[in-house]
Structure 1
Amino acid sequence: MNLVLPQKTPDARVGEIIKLAVMAVGGQGGGVLTGWIEALARSQGYVCQATSVAGVAQRTGATIYYVEMAKKGELEPVFALAPAGGDVDVLIAAEMMEVGRAVMRGFVTPDRTTLIGSTHRALAVSEKMAPGDGIADADEVRAAAEMASQKLILADMDGLAVAQGSVISSSLFGALAGSGALPFPRDAFEDAIRASGKGVDASLRAFAAGYDAAQSSAEEPVAPETLPAPELTGPDRELARWKTLQGRADSLPEPVRELAGNGLMKVVDFQDCGYGEAYLDQLDRIVARDSAEHDWLLSVTAAKYIANAMAYDDIIRVADLKTRAPRMARIHAEMGAKNGQLVELTEFFHPRAEEIVSLLPAGMGARWEANPKRMALMDRLFNKGRRLRTHSLRSFLMLHFLGGLKGYRLKTRRHQVENAHLQQWLEDSLKPLDDDYALSVELLRNRRLIKGYSDTHARGLTKFATVMNAADLLHGRKDAAEWMGRLREAALQDPDGKVLEGAIQTVRSFV
């Protein structure tokens, strides 16, 4: 016998529940935005419930805030605690990759979801760890969002908010109001901000910017800040030397001039005009072996990477950059500090024995590097995490002193090593020039693998040596340049070098 159960008619009031999710990274005010939405709903006679599901600290904690609201009636509705795929009316994403994550999790559907997102980026750890450019393609995310959503609103909400002296939660709240996804007037949204009582004026300005961006349904670009051209100051003798160097750079072949000018400025800023002369001397030797037949590609490549090699990151450079006035002014501006307010600043350092010994005079440093006992002693003394509170006079003066050692830098062990490495790299890169111009260009580009300092620099050197040594395996092949580029890209893909190892094995199979 079959038992037929009576079918229950779904409660029509379930469809009246408005479901809204906010996906935000830690520090972006997701909780504040959710609080405003709650206050807005209750002020308009709605019952409301908000929950949050904290994520792991992938980007300082990606959190999903979930809000359900419905008109107040005789019976109290039972709200869900978390969003479900295909059952979200409004999705607010406070960063472009959060837009992608929302689409991937199925929260965004073309039959119902209004998707509001910010186009700016807060890079994930996986993007930062890649030795090369590990940044995900935002255009792919945008294309997926356009297909997945019923209505899409994308703009640089962070830039809009910062331009008004506020934070992104304010502009996102304005975009929510401008989208028309909630049945509430603009005044009610603004009253919710006023009721919070904190930073009201700036928040309302950012709200208005977000509202306008949503109304236009197009990205409102923030006008880039116009920075004044750097004003060079110094003794007349040095300024005259600088003008002479600029004249030498301007006399180079036209395709080389721009990069040579930028490279010259970089190395002079790193050291002095004498160092700039050495840079142009190196570049002149490359230009002498190049020609317009190849569009001066070898020289253009050399102009970029010789400058990068000469302006290496040592302790002197790091200390100099950390104590410059423009950096301090930028930090004060980002913190919103007013005149007379103190800003506490902590710098994190973790020097290895190698970094300390590299500051010694060249001969002494070489002897210390060759002595395991001395290196072990230096490691015990210095290989510790340090926090320097550079708002204090003692710590600031320590870094300022280190940053002022430019005159001593060229006598150090580090400079001796870097200069020898530079000369060997150029020699190895130019060996195949007469027979394989393209391969020489690719060998010069391998310098891209070396960057940073400490452990990052050491890993880059290892990958650089591995890729450069593969030139012998590729010697005589018509596709040698193509394979050299592939090896470099493999080295840039992951920090562990597994992709590079596989690529090297492939090359060895040719032999």
Structure 2
Amino acid sequence: MLQDVTQIERLRYKPTIQITTILVGAIGGQGGNVLVEWLFLAADLSGFRAQSVSLPGLSQRGGATSYYMEIASLPENNKIENPIAELEKAVFGQHPFPGMVDVLLGQELLELGRLVQQGYASKRTTVVANSQRFYTTSEKMPAFDGRYPTEKIVEAVAQMSGAYSIIDVPQIARQHGLGDLSSNALMLGALSVLPGVLPIPVEAYRNAIQQFGLAVEMNLKAFEVGRSYQIEELQREANATQAKPEPAQDPLPRSLAALPKPLFNANGAADSGEPVPAKPRRTINLIPVAHSSGNRAEKKDVAALIERHSNELPLKWKADFRALTAEIQAQFPEKLHWALIEAAYQCADYQNLAYARRYLKEVARVFKLDSETHAWKLTEAYARVLSMRTTYEDAVRVASLKIQHGRFSRIRQEMKVADGQVLVLTDYLKPDAPEIYGIFPNALVSPMLLLGKLTGIGTWAEKKYFTLQLHPQPNTFSGYLTFAFLTWFKPLRPVSHRANREWKQIGNFTRDVEKFALLDYELAMLVVESGRLVKGYGDTRRKMFEAHDRFVIKVLEVSIKVESKCKTGNEESAYPLTLALGKRALRLVAQDDRGSGWAEQLADWALGEFKNNTPIPEIIKGLEPKAKTLSTKA
């Protein structure tokens, strides 16, 4: 294969012709085809030959799209009598080869990472990318944060490319009043600034945008914004570089100093060992641009938060909410103010201010066991998890969100519904029996469920797993009335059967945190982290309740009992094995339905080794993901 690539290069790269290869990676719906069309038009307007090949995807997260383009140009100040005829001799490729891409454009960061992983980035490659992410299904499925680390992608790009510029395009677009669809033009503007990357003059890009005729005014503005941003970044990096003493070695710019040894020279002859560029092209003198993450830490303005939330709640609650926030600021340390005030607002918006006070009462139980020595980490983490647990999505909550003020106008804007067009919304709901009877008072439901169990009807109904399929249209009178009727059950929520079940679970969770906090602070943090397992609704939520209980009872509590019998009192951590086992087991439980079984298998193995006097460091090493194979029958 290597020899085939060499032969292709010898045929394609004539001594008088420069061929620049461009690869664009995106996801369906981002307009990658538009970006390539602009590049093609700009090359054509510059008097060059170009060819593009695309592999379209779907307008969904699952559809990866790629576009490949080659531009044939002549060197500057050439003395060729018939340039057009000379360019006709260029031989274009139909697809990119790893290590032979000059420009790599990534409209989505993970798609850029895929292309880098496949070997398309090399030291001859200039990367211009959008830091925006559209998360994959596999990233969304885990109970915890399943997102692939952005830092790893950026690090790979920095290591593999010759020069790179990763830009927070959405943030820059928002700062200049531009929409999401302007990202292509903004990236094109950033690319046009980089010296020596493409042979296309800047005016050709502008003319290409105008000739293509798609949202010309907005895209031209975005193009100039991208240029201005990149110019500022290049100048900033240049100033930073000038302030540093130049190294004694490696005098070439990064993009040339790290070029790989070519397989052949510029004339297609066998390589003689001289460090010549891989093919005739302009010298790149580009300073790599630092990654802009857009996640700069901002000082949290608690006063502004209180003011905003006070105005978002009903007017009659405004004074009481401010009084509640004053109590929070008096009772808890400053580090917790933002999280607790935000959570109190969420609870008040979910139910009422009394519900928010009930939430704070639970937080105070854990706060008593925390200390400033640990920077109140336990209380802060518990408060965040409890906020999520107390604002569970029942039928009343779903109904209120479906007819929430602003939902219809937001959908019309997102779907680009023109004035005069009729918009019909249909919501597909499938509540099961517990979700239906869960909104009724517990005093009414519990006796009926007990009677059902005694007669056997309840067991039969559970096996049948009844669901009610509803297709209401909330922007019609009947559909709106259906949802509005459900919201009338909101005053009954605190005494509902669902609330009774949820708050029993919350009480158990809080007692677990208190119990483990008395044993070991880090173990208590782990229990709080496990509380994040419980999310979703319907059968999914019930399964996660079970998974959480199995983790605490069959992994943590069992491990503590075994380890406490052999404690010496000299350990840095009170329960080092339990802590390491718990962290690994929790990751397994969060993966999918089989995780609880895997976690229990792992606990059995680890505690068995511990009973056999295997040193704890060796057991902990064996807990690593690649060190232990678990049965799929779990």
TM-score (norm 2): 0.70
Q: Does the CA-based 8 Å contact 1:473-1:507 persist in structure 2? A: no
Superimposed CA distance per residue, residues 180-221 of structure 1 (whole angstroms, 9 cap, x where no aligned partner): 422122121111111122211111111122223333344567
> 3-state DSSP class of the match of 1:313?
coil
Query: What is the 5 A alignment of 1:362-381?
Result: 362-366=442-446, 367=448, 370=453, 371-375=458-462, 379=466
> Residue 159 of structure 2: which of 138, 144, 147 is its match?
147
Structure 2 CA distance for partners of 1:433 and 1:51, relative to 1, 3 Å: closer
Residues of 2 paired with 1:407 and 1:306: CA distance? 21
> Residue 504 of structure 2: which of 420, 423, 448 is its match?
420
> Residue 96 of structure 2: which of 83, 92, 95 is its match?
83
- What residue in structure 2 maps to residue 318 of structure 1? 398
1:214 aligns with 2:230: yes
Residues of 2 paired with 1:197 and 1:293: CA distance? 62
Q: Does the CA-based 8 Å contact 1:246-1:261 persist in structure 2? A: yes
Deviates more, 1:83-92 or 1:221-230: 221-230
Q: Does the CA-based 8 Å contact 2:110-2:133 persist in structure 1? A: yes
Residues of 2 paired with 1:377 and 1:361: CA distance? 24
Computed over aligned residues only, the root mean square deviation of the Cα atoms, in angstroms, reads: 3.4
Residues of 1 paired with 2:185 and 2:540: CA distance? 38
Report the CA distance between 1:432 and its aligned residue: 4.4
What residue identity is the alignment partner of 1:321? L
Structure 2 CA distance for partners of 1:46 and 1:346, relative to 1, 3 Å: farther
Structure 2 CA distance for partners of 1:20 and 1:345, relative to 1, 3 Å: farther
Superimposed CA distance per residue, residues 342-394 of structure 1 (whole angstroms, 9 cap, x where no aligned partner): 76655453433332232333255443585144456772x51x5x665544444
Query: What is the 5 A alignment of 1:215-364?
Result: 215=231, 216-217=233-234, 218=289, 229-230=308-309, 231-234=311-314, 236=316, 238-254=317-333, 255-292=335-372, 295-328=375-408, 331=411, 334=414, 345=425, 347-364=427-444
Deviates more, 1:116-125 or 1:70-79: 70-79
> 3-state DSSP class of the match of 1:59?
coil
Residues of 2 paired with 1:51 and 1:12: CA distance? 19
Structure 2 CA distance for partners of 1:11 and 1:265, relative to 1, 3 Å: closer
Q: Does the CA-based 8 Å contact 1:89-1:113 persist in structure 2? A: yes
Report the CA distance between 1:94 and its aligned residue: 0.5
1:489 aligns with 2:502: no
What residue identity is the alignment partner of 1:503? L
What residue identity is the alignment partner of 1:466? R
Residues of 2 paired with 1:140 and 1:333: CA distance? 35
Q: Does the CA-based 8 Å contact 2:28-2:60 persist in structure 1? A: no
Residues of 1 paired with 2:189 and 2:26: CA distance? 16
> 3-state DSSP class of the match of 1:349?
coil
1:49 aligns with 2:51: yes
Structure 2 CA distance for partners of 1:85 and 1:468, relative to 1, 3 Å: same
Residues of 2 paired with 1:77 and 1:359: CA distance? 72
Superimposed CA distance per residue, residues 436-456 of structure 1 (whole angstroms, 9 cap, x where no aligned partner): 454344323321111122344
Residues of 1 paired with 2:365 and 2:293: CA distance? 44
Residues of 1 paired with 2:377 and 2:119: CA distance? 47
Residues of 2 paired with 1:79 and 1:359: CA distance? 66
Number of residue pairs matched by the alignment:
500
What residue identity is the alignment partner of 1:251? A
Q: Does the CA-based 8 Å contact 1:130-1:495 persist in structure 2? A: no
Residues of 1 paired with 2:160 and 2:526: CA distance? 41
> Residue 183 of structure 1: which of 183, 199, 205 is its match?
199
Superimposed CA distance per residue, residues 454-508 of structure 1 (whole angstroms, 9 cap, x where no aligned partner): 3442342232112111232122533134543443233234564175355333444
Residues of 1 paired with 2:426 and 2:90: CA distance? 50
1:171 aligns with 2:186: yes
What residue identity is the alignment partner of 2:61? R
Structure 2 CA distance for partners of 1:188 and 1:99, relative to 1, 3 Å: same
Residues of 2 paired with 1:40 and 1:407: CA distance? 63
Residues of 1 paired with 2:605 and 2:346: CA distance? 38
Structure 2 CA distance for partners of 1:305 and 1:213, relative to 1, 3 Å: same
Structure 2 CA distance for partners of 1:393 and 1:167, relative to 1, 3 Å: farther
Q: Does the CA-based 8 Å contact 2:29-2:58 persist in structure 1? A: no
Structure 2 CA distance for partners of 1:357 and 1:343, relative to 1, 3 Å: same
Deviates more, 1:287-296 or 1:131-140: 287-296
- What residue in structure 2 maps to residue 473 of structure 1? 558
1:106 aligns with 2:106: no
Deviates more, 1:417-426 or 1:156-165: 156-165
Residues of 1 paired with 2:228 and 2:295: CA distance? 16
Stretches of structure 2 that go unaligned for 5 or more consecutive residues are 1-6, 74-83, 235-288, 299-303, 564-573, 612-634
Superimposed CA distance per residue, residues 251-275 of structure 1 (whole angstroms, 9 cap, x where no aligned partner): 2231444433232222112110111
1:97 aligns with 2:130: no
Deviates more, 1:417-426 or 1:68-77: 68-77
What residue identity is the alignment partner of 2:138? S
Please say which structure displays the higher CA radius of gyration.
2
- What residue in structure 1 maps to residue 568 of structure 2? none
Stretches of structure 1 that go unaligned for 5 or more consecutive residues are 1-6
- What residue in structure 1 maps to residue 541 of structure 2? 457
What residue identity is the alignment partner of 2:157? A
What residue identity is the alignment partner of 2:492? Y
Report the CA distance between 1:85 and its aligned residue: 0.7
Residues of 1 paired with 2:600 and 2:383: CA distance? 30
Q: Does the CA-based 8 Å contact 2:29-2:59 persist in structure 1? A: no
Residues of 2 paired with 1:265 and 1:233: CA distance? 8
Report the CA distance between 1:312 and its aligned residue: 1.5
TM-score (norm 1): 0.85
Q: Does the CA-based 8 Å contact 1:161-1:206 persist in structure 2? A: yes
Q: Percent identity?
A: 27
> Residue 439 of structure 1: which of 523, 532, 554 is its match?
523
- What residue in structure 1 maps to residue 278 of structure 2? none
